[in-house]
Each structure stands twice: as structure tokens, then as C-alpha cells.
């Protein structure tokens, strides 16, 4: 997203999109999400419950 003066600004994904990224593949939990200029977290840290119990076990 372009801001004033043409500076590029990063907008972190919303909670629904974070969940969508998780559902695409289990390896995505280690995706680094940029939250600010010097701040990021792994997707697994941003989702409260990423390990769902098995329906069959």
C-alpha cells in the first residue's frame, strides 16, 4: 500500500486471512508475518489454537 510521499507501507493480514494461510498447508505455520517496520511474528504465534484435535483419534 502506498502512503504519503510514495512510501510503501505493509498491512498485516487480518485474522481470517491468517487462518486461511494456515489451512493451505501445515508448513505455513512457520510463515513470518510482518507487523511493522521492525516487528514480525511467526503465524503460529498469532493464531491462538493452531493444533486441532483429530476427529478420528
Output the pLDDT for position 24: 93
The kind and range of the H/E element at 53 are none
Alpha-carbon Rg for the chain, nearest whole angstrom, is 15
How far apart, in whole angstroms, are the C-alpha atoms of residue 50 and residue 20?
Answer: 12
How far apart, in whole angstroms, are the C-alpha atoms of residue 16 and residue 1?
Answer: 19
pTM above 0.75, yes or no: no
pLDDT (tens digit, 9 = 90+) per residue, 8-32? 777 888 889 998 999 999 899 999 9
**Can you give the residue ranges of every domain in the chain?**
12-46
Amino acid at each position: 500500500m502506498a502512503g504519503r510521499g510514495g512510501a510503501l507501507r505493509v498491512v498485516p493480514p487480518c485474522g481470517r486471512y491468517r487462518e486461511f494461510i494456515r489451512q493451505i498447508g501445515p508448513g505455513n505455520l512457520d510463515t513470518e508475518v510482518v507487523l511493522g517496520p521492525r516487528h514480525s511474528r511467526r503465524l503460529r504465534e498469532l493464531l491462538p489454537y493452531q493444533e486441532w484435535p483429530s476427529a478420528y483419534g
